Chain A
Amino acid sequence: MSSNSPDKPQLIKNGKRLSGRSFTDLRPLKITAGVLKQADGSAMIEWGKNRIIAAVYGPHEVFPKFLTNNKKALVSARYVMAPFSSLEDHGRSGPNRRSIEISKVAKHVFENAILTSRFPKTIIDIHMDVVQSDGGTRIAAITAASVALADAGIPMKDLVAGVAVGKVDGELVVDLDKTEDNYGESDAAVVISPRTGDILLFQMEGLLTPEEVKRTVRLAKDAAVQVREVQVAALKKRYEQVASELGEQIA
């Protein structure tokens, strides 16, 4: 964040954001479930210019075996950005400090959501590959992975949904894009369980008053409900597709 950078454009004009959105509008959001053949569950999210593919493998046997938990399934999460995913420079492939931290907190989200006690002695692998980034990749990745888990038929307490909320030009706005992310005054990644309204992930930086932080999570909660509708629609479409394929086989 460099809200005092000389290159900073005016991010809000006449009550609208640069993209023409209102403070609470989401960018165009589309999720497609079942985009990969090999994976047990998968989803592709297109959110603004973000393109992220999530794949789920498992529950399967744990390796190395001594890590096996007799009471519940282990969860592993891997978030990475492809070297070609950003507009600017060519990144390095593989995990870095940022992606290791994101993978860790993403894993915690799914450990909470998945009914892990249903699958003792197994592990569920969740992969999130960012192939094009446009601000808010971690919450988009988790939103996609949630759909991929449902596509894999893994029982969960809820379809978790994420959104970023930040302060740009003094206003709290929902679903920051790349420019708002770069030049904004604060940025919070929030993952919510829309069914209960509980906070499953919260990572914030920036200078906010306590009231603004409290508003941040409430804005995120309202947005998560909208994101969830897109997730549900993606899964319904997937089931229709599976059902029609099965129908053809029977006929």
Chain B
Amino acid sequence: MISDQIKAQFIKDLIKDNKRADGRDFMAYRPIEIEKNVFENCEGSAICKIGDTKVLAGVKIDLATPFPDRPNEGMLSVGCEFSPIAHPSFQAGPPDERSIELARVVDRGIRAANTIDLTKLVVAPGKVMGVFIDLYILDYNGNLTDAAAMAAMSAVKNAIVPKVEQDGEVYKLNHEERKHHLPLGESVVTCTFEKVNGSILLDANIDEENASSGRLTFGTTTTGKICSAQKSGLASFTLEQFDSLIDMSLEQRHALMKLL
């Protein structure tokens, strides 16, 4: 749309003067809020709002057959739906490359940090629990990655494991009776930086994303490790920019972790 192009040019011009349209510092988030346990039917849920962006995460825990090469581990899966309610550019249908990338970036962070101890989710030989995290974009106004990662993390943290019931050889989950939290290790949050007109912005809103040439995301853990990273978009980053964004992600993570 032509109005998007005009807005993008406006954002680029402002950045030359070291300004952002909403008056934020280049390395500042919009206000962040997390609503926890928003639903009763799923085992865990959370809505993360960053400014006007809203992402919902739901966690279901089910019995599953383990992967043949991982017989002693529970399953973890992250899915993502770009629902047409969230933006005019989102179309119903099979997941497109944007939603696949988003789900996989969130998945990599949680998996690499061993956030969920999957070895403790074995019910019986050949029977494990599967943790299914589904991300649902409600309102797209920029920086879906950080909102999705925080919503997923928060939902995983408040998820309650259903009671396992055994009838002879048959195992069943009693979703009415929930016992304890998931066996959790370190938490993960992500920080996403967009390169707009040569400058780097934290937590871009949708207009800034439209003006951006690419992004870099770092996943950081409670103890200050880097557990995941993804560069996306055609922009390149120098080694110096890369180093300083790692440090910035680690610095920003304290404030994000407190909200989970």
Contact A203 B236 (CB under 8 A): no
Cα A170 to Cα B164 in complex, Å, equals 38
Q: Which residues in A have their C-beta under 8 angstroms from that of B100?
A: 97, 100-101, 104
Cα A204 to Cα B105 in complex, Å, equals 9
Q: Is A171 an interface residue (CB 8 A)?
A: no
- Which residue in chain B gives the minimum CB-CB distance to A182? B69
Cα A150 to Cα B235 in complex, Å, equals 21
One digit per residue, 1 when the CB lies within 8 angstroms of any chain B CB and 0 when it does not, for chain A 97-137 equals 11011011100110110000000000000000000000000
Q: Which residues in B have their C-beta under 8 angstroms from that of A200?
A: 231, 236
Q: Which of A46-90 contact B (CB under 8 A)?
A: none
Contact A197 B112 (CB under 8 A): no
Q: Which residues in A have their C-beta under 8 angstroms from that of B250?
A: 210
Q: Is B101 an interface residue (CB 8 A)?
A: yes
Given contacts A108-B232, A199-B239, A214-B246, contact A207 B221 (CB under 8 A): yes
* B70, B111, B226: the one within 8 Å of A208 (CB): B226
Cα A195 to Cα B237 in complex, Å, equals 13
Q: Is B214 an interface residue (CB 8 A)?
A: yes
Expressed in whole angstroms, the minimum distance between the Cβ of A236 and any Cβ of chain B is 26
Q: Is A2 an interface residue (CB 8 A)?
A: yes
Q: Which of A205-244 contact B (CB under 8 A)?
A: 205-210, 212-214, 217-218, 221
- Which residue in chain B gives the minimum CB-CB distance to A110? B234
Contact B231 A112 (CB under 8 A): no
- Which residue in chain A gives the minimum CB-CB distance to B95? A97
By secondary structure, the B interface counts as mixed
Expressed in whole angstroms, the minimum distance between the Cβ of A101 and any Cβ of chain B is 5
* B103, B230, B238: the one within 8 Å of A203 (CB): B230
Q: Is A188 an interface residue (CB 8 A)?
A: yes
Q: Which residues in B have their C-beta under 8 angstroms from that of A32?
A: none
Expressed in whole angstroms, the minimum distance between the Cβ of B169 and any Cβ of chain A is 27
Q: Which residues in A have their C-beta under 8 angstroms from that of B224?
A: 209-210
- Which residue in chain B gives the minimum CB-CB distance to A5? B70
Q: Which residues in B have their C-beta under 8 angstroms from that of A39?
A: none
Q: Which of B216-252 contact A (CB under 8 A)?
A: 216, 221, 224-239, 242-243, 246-247, 250
Q: Which residues in A have their C-beta under 8 angstroms from that of B237?
A: 198-199, 202
Q: Is B127 an interface residue (CB 8 A)?
A: no
Cα A214 to Cα B229 in complex, Å, equals 12
Contact A199 B97 (CB under 8 A): no
Expressed in whole angstroms, the minimum distance between the Cβ of A146 and any Cβ of chain B is 14
Q: Which residues in B have their C-beta under 8 angstroms from that of A143?
A: none
Q: Which residues in A have their C-beta under 8 angstroms from that of B233?
A: 108
Max chain A Cβ within 10 angstroms of own Cβ: one of B98, B111, B231, B233: B231
- Which residue in chain A gives the minimum CB-CB distance to B231? A202
One digit per residue, 1 when the CB lies within 8 angstroms of any chain B CB and 0 when it does not, for chain A 134-156 equals 00000000000000000000000
Contact A104 B239 (CB under 8 A): no
Contact A207 B225 (CB under 8 A): yes
Expressed in whole angstroms, the minimum distance between the Cβ of B121 and any Cβ of chain A is 15
Cα A213 to Cα B216 in complex, Å, equals 14
Contact A207 B112 (CB under 8 A): yes
Contact A210 B232 (CB under 8 A): no
Q: Which of B59-89 contact A (CB under 8 A)?
A: 70
Contact A112 B236 (CB under 8 A): yes
Contact A207 B230 (CB under 8 A): no
Q: Which residues in B have their C-beta under 8 angstroms from that of A206?
A: 112, 227
Contact B242 A209 (CB under 8 A): no
Contact B227 A205 (CB under 8 A): yes
Q: Is A201 an interface residue (CB 8 A)?
A: yes
Q: Which residues in A have their C-beta under 8 angstroms from that of B246?
A: 210, 213-214
The interface of chain B, by Cβ under 8 A from chain A, is 70, 95, 97-98, 100-101, 103-104, 108-109, 111-114, 214, 216, 221, 224-239, 242-243, 246-247, 250
A-B pairs, 10 with minimum CB distance = A198-B236, A204-B229, A111-B234, A205-B112, A112-B234, A202-B231, A205-B108, A104-B97, A213-B226, A207-B225
Q: List 8 A-B contacts (CB under 8 A).
A: A104-B97, A104-B232, A105-B230, A199-B236, A199-B238, A204-B230, A207-B225, A214-B246
Contacts A101-B97, A205-B109, A210-B247 known; 15 new A-B pairs at CB < 8 A: A2-B70, A97-B95, A97-B104, A103-B97, A104-B100, A108-B234, A197-B239, A199-B231, A199-B237, A200-B236, A203-B230, A204-B228, A206-B227, A208-B227, A218-B239
